[in-house]
Structure formats: structure tokens, C-alpha cells
Amino acid sequence: LQLDERRPPPETTEMNGVLMTKMMSDNWDKIWNFQAKPDDLLIATYAKAGTTWTQEIVDMIQNDGDVQKCQRANTFDRHPFIEWALPPPLNSGLDLANKMPSPRTLKTHLPVQMVPPSFWKENVKIIYVARNAKDCLVSYYHFSRMNKMIPDPGPWEDYVETFKAGKVLWGSWYDHVKGWWDAKDRHRILYLLYEDMKEDPKREIQKMLRFLEKDISEEVLNKIIHHTSFDMMKQNPMANYTTLPTSIMDHSISPFMRRGVPGDWKNYFTVAQNEAFDKDYERKMAGTTLTFRTTL
Ligand code: A3P
């Protein structure tokens, strides 16, 4: 047995068909009643869609490309993760958010129907990033092996089925990306795709700049692209999650900054798994205009 297979699983529970840790459900009243402010920015994603990358880009934009300022703290302390709490003495996202001066940038993985209502009431700007299902699945699988705060993924072939059934934290990928896609027509949501960001970071960062009503020089823009590249972020302790104890994330099992490319799923799916996945995908994604690229 490998060490990660012996760990006690965190307690989980389902709320309206969405799997959560018990820590989240115990705190649910507080999360649901969270008070968003009009000048907040929310970065919303399904887990493993490129959240940390987007957070670094946004922080660089907000700090006009000042790398030092962006190294003032870990990603998870710069941008409170509203529904998440870590074992003390680490801060819970809610506590961090509540004591953070405005303007705040916050993070969530909640499906759209579970976002605290104050975000809609205050008309908060939201950047949503989605990533193709197969790469999300592979990334989530490895992340679940190394992150002791989330359920053990079990063997790969089982995990493929668990993911398809949506029995993972934050629920079904399919419902998540579709729910947010529909919401973007009713709210101030910039909906981005990981594959587009990878293909042309400049173009996608420019979309973020317009959305955030920020103007920066070409020089700063190029600096942001460089500083937020996968290779740079992998070496950046304030962005790569290596400052957490191994009892929370064990990078020797799989690093947080793992591959950072579209198409890595091809190294994991068997031909049969891929065919079954595609068939099931077509059914679950029927009727949406949202489409993804699984390679570039
Ligand atoms: P892989 O596991 O496929 O490598 P999140 O931040 O939402 O948890 O997403 C993590 C995924 O984004 C990981 O994917 C990680 O490597 C990738 N990632 C992080 N920073 C990146 C960057 N600068 N460029 C591209 N991918 C990045």
C-alpha cells in the first residue's frame, strides 16, 4: 500500500446532489450568508480548471505587473477560498475574506446555484474558467491523490466512473460548466476557457483587462504573460502550494503544478474508456451551446 491509500478519508456529505466535505456542510449557513461587496471580484471554477493560474494573472493585473507585490503571500491567502477551511491554525476562507480590506478578490468552486446570494444582489463581477472534462478529470485524479483534505480517488478506472457520475467534491463537472454558462447571460460573468488561455494568453488576458476595466502597457502585459507561465509558476513558492505541510498536500505523490497542458488525458484514458466517456459526454452535454477543445 502506498501512503496515500492508507489515509483516513475526510468525511463527506451531499447537499442537493453535490458532494461536499463535512467541514463545508457544517459551515454552510455561514457560507450561504456570506456578505459580498459590490467591488469584490470572484474567480469561480470547477476544481482543476486553472483557478490558480487565473488568480495569478488577476493579481498581476491588479498590481500592475509588480512581481514583488504578488509574492506578498500564498495564493490561498491573497484570495480567500470562501467555502473552504483548513485545519487550524490555517485560516478558513470565510475568516480571511471577512477581515480582508476591499477591494477583495475571492475564489470559489461552488456550482452556480450554490453561490451565496449576496454575490448576485451586489452584482459582483465574476471570472469563470472552464477546462475540458478529460483534462479536468486527469488533473483532479492526481490532485485527489496528493491532497489529503479531499477524498481518495481510488484506482484510475474507478475514478473515471466517479467523475462521470459527479460523485466528487463540488459535484458534477457537466452541471457546473453548463450552469455557469447559462448564468453568464444574466450576470456580470466573463466565461473563459483554459484551452484558449493556453493557446493565446495575451488574447485572454486582454479579455480580463477589458472586463476589469484596466489599462496596462504592452510591457506590463508581456511581464504578466511571462510571470504567469506554467514554468514560472511551478518555481514560485507563493503560487505552487509547496508551503503547505505534506499532511495537507504531498507533492512527492504528484506536484500541484503537474503538467499544465491540454491533451494530457491521452496518456491515461484507454481506447475503451475514451469511447465510453465520449458517449456519456454527448448525452450529458446535449442541448448546450458550450463546446470544448480536448487538444490544441
Ligand atoms: P494539471 O494537473 O493538468 O497539470 P487549479 O488551479 O484549478 O487547481 O488547476 C490546476 C491545474 O492548472 C493543474 O493542471 C496545473 O498544472 C494547471 N496550471 C497551474 N498553473 C498553470 C499555468 N500557469 N499554465 C497552465 N496550467 C497551469
Q: Of all protein residues, whose CA lies closest to atom 19 belonging to ligand 1?
A: 53
Nearest atom within ligand 1 for CA of residue 258: 4
Pocket test for ligand 1, best of 43, 46, 48, 249 (most atoms within 8 A of CB): 48
Q: What is the ipTM of this complex?
A: 1.00
- 259 Cα–ligand 1 center, Å: 7
CA atoms of 168 and 143, how far apart (whole Å): 12
Q: Tell me the mean pLDDT in the region 95-121.
A: 98
> What fold is seen in the domain 3-284?
Rossmann fold (3.40.50)
Examine the pLDDT at 159 and tell me if it is beyond 80: yes
Indicate the pLDDT class of residue 4, thresholds 50, 70 and 90. very low
| 156 Cα: distance to centroid of ligand 1 (angstroms) | 20
Ligand 1 proximal residues by C-beta, below 6 Å: 45, 47-53, 135, 139, 142, 228-230, 233, 257-260, 264
Residue 2 pLDDT greater than 50, yes or no: no
Higher pLDDT residue, 85 or 173?
173
Q: How confident is the model at residue 7 (pLDDT cuts 50, 70, 90)?
A: low
Annotated catalytic residue, options 109, 142, 176, 227: 109
- Gap between the Cα atoms of 223 and 49, Å rounded: 23
CA distance 28 to 9: 20
Residue nearest to atom 26 of ligand 1 (CA): 260
Instruction: Report CA(33)–ligand 1 centroid distance (Å).
Output: 30
If one compares 116 and 7, the residue with the highest pLDDT of the two is 116
Question: What pLDDT sits at residue 1?
Answer: 37
Instruction: Using DSSP, state whether 43 is helix, strand or coil.
Output: strand
Ligand 1 atom closest to Cα of residue 56: 23
Please tell me the distance between residue 155's alpha carbon and the centre of ligand 1 in angstroms: 22
Query: Quick check: 209 pLDDT over 50?
Result: yes
79 a catalytic residue: no
Residue with CA nearest ligand 1 atom 14 = 260
What interhelical angle do 51-62 and 201-212 show, nearest 10?
60
Question: What is the rounded average pLDDT for all residues in the chain?
Answer: 96
Q: Is 53 buried (19+), middle (13-18) or exposed (0-12) by CB count in 10 A?
A: buried
Query: CA angle, corner 222, sides to 257 and 66, nearest 5?
Result: 75
The Å distance, Cα 29 to ligand 1 centre, comes to: 31
| % pLDDT > 90, the chain | 94
